Amino acid sequence: MNSIKKKLKSYLRDKNQIVCITCYDASFGKILNDLRIDIVLVGDSLGMVIKGDTTTHNVTIDEMIYHSSCVAKTKQNFIMMADMPINSYEDSDIAYLNSRKLLDNNVDIIKLEYQDKHQSIIKKLVEENIPVCGHIGLLPQIAFEKKDLRIYGREAEERDKLIRQAKDLEELGVDIVLLECVHAEVTKEITDSINIPVIGIGSGESCNGQVQVLYDILGISNNPPKFSKNYLKDADSVSNAIKNFSNYVKKIKY
């Protein structure tokens, strides 16, 4: 088992909540590193918070590589995860080549927005020993209308599908399941039924960790989601704001 897999397993064994925060550059990377944030995610949310678009739909693999390489310069303590952007995992070979490019830039684990059609792609990545995070629930890369931005798993059929997908991902050998805007009760069912870390955003507290977009918790995003909180409001520095978010996550009992 490689060291990333071991570290991820240890969070579950020690019931240690995982703090994950997005980052796109070296200045914030250093702050997150010094605060010993567990996982730093170079998210394709950079489409919105860096490029000023309204979606992630125009983010390219070259942009992900560039921002990953900036963040990587500060990486000493954290696990670095990076998104595979839209159109970068159309088939197994393309997914393999693109994920290798991210790993060559010091990324430890790649994240992709999972649909059932991606099973063979994940199989290939796992066979090639590439650590993978499967993202389910709200999938921004295929969200085209306002109605897609909602909580997933309220209805029985969607709930069953999410639980089945999380189990499929575990079976396929991924290292983390990330839930975005999943109904809190479904989050609990998923966390209770699989043996790999489940990290949530807007999905309640019944999981093994929380992820947030850095600029949302600093209150500087243009259009922050309802579930995010501005931690800078009650802090005297960026660093203390992030520390307060981290302390909140570490105290969650689950």
List the catalytic residues. 180
* C-alpha–C-alpha distance, residues 248 and 235, integer Å: 14
Contact between 22 and ligand KIV by CB under 6 A: the answer reads yes
Nearer to ligand KIV, 175 or 180 (CB): 180
* C-alpha–C-alpha distance, residues 118 and 139, integer Å: 13
Contact between 203 and ligand KIV by CB under 6 A: the answer reads no
Contact between 241 and ligand KIV by CB under 6 A: the answer reads no
Minimum distance between the CB of residue 252 and ligand KIV, rounded to whole angstroms? 17
* C-alpha–C-alpha distance, residues 148 and 192, integer Å: 26
Q: Which of residues 87-146 bind ligand KIV (CB under 6 A)?
A: none
Minimum distance between the CB of residue 33 and ligand KIV, rounded to whole angstroms? 18
Contact between 211 and ligand KIV by CB under 6 A: the answer reads yes
φ/ψ (deg, to 5) at 89:
-140, 55
- Residue in the shown chain whose Cβ atom is closest to ligand KIV: 43
Quote the Cα angle for 112-84-57, to 5°.
Answer: 100
Which stretch, 39-47, 69-77, 114-122, 147-155, contacts ligand KIV (CB under 6 A)? 39-47
Minimum distance between the CB of residue 79 and ligand KIV, rounded to whole angstroms? 15
Which stretch, 43-51, 88-96, 189-197, 235-243, contacts ligand KIV (CB under 6 A)? 43-51
Nearer to ligand KIV, 95 or 211 (CB): 211
DSSP run (H or E) holding 79? strand 79-83
Contact between 201 and ligand KIV by CB under 6 A: the answer reads yes
Q: Which has the closest alpha carbon to 194: 8, 34, 33, 7?
A: 8
Residue choice 83, 108, 175, 189 for contact with ligand KIV (CB under 6 A):
83
Q: Report CA 55 to chain centroid distance, whole Å.
A: 16
* C-alpha–C-alpha distance, residues 168 and 198, integer Å: 14
Q: What is the rounded end-to-end Cα distance, in angstroms, of the chain? A: 26
Q: Which residues contact 96 (CB under 8 A, 6 or more apart)?
A: 124, 125, 128, 130
Which amino acid would we find at residue 169?
Answer: L
Residue choice 61, 95, 213, 232 for contact with ligand KIV (CB under 6 A):
213
Contact between 179 and ligand KIV by CB under 6 A: the answer reads no
Helix axes 92-104, 61-72, angle to 10 degrees: 30
Number of residues interacting with ligand KIV: please give it, by CB under 6 A. Answer: 11
Q: In whole angstroms, how large is the CA radius of gyration of the chain?
A: 17
Minimum distance between the CB of residue 1 and ligand KIV, rounded to whole angstroms? 25
Minimum distance between the CB of residue 92 and ligand KIV, rounded to whole angstroms? 22
Residues that bind ligand KIV (CB under 6 A): 22, 41, 43-45, 83, 178, 180, 201, 211, 213
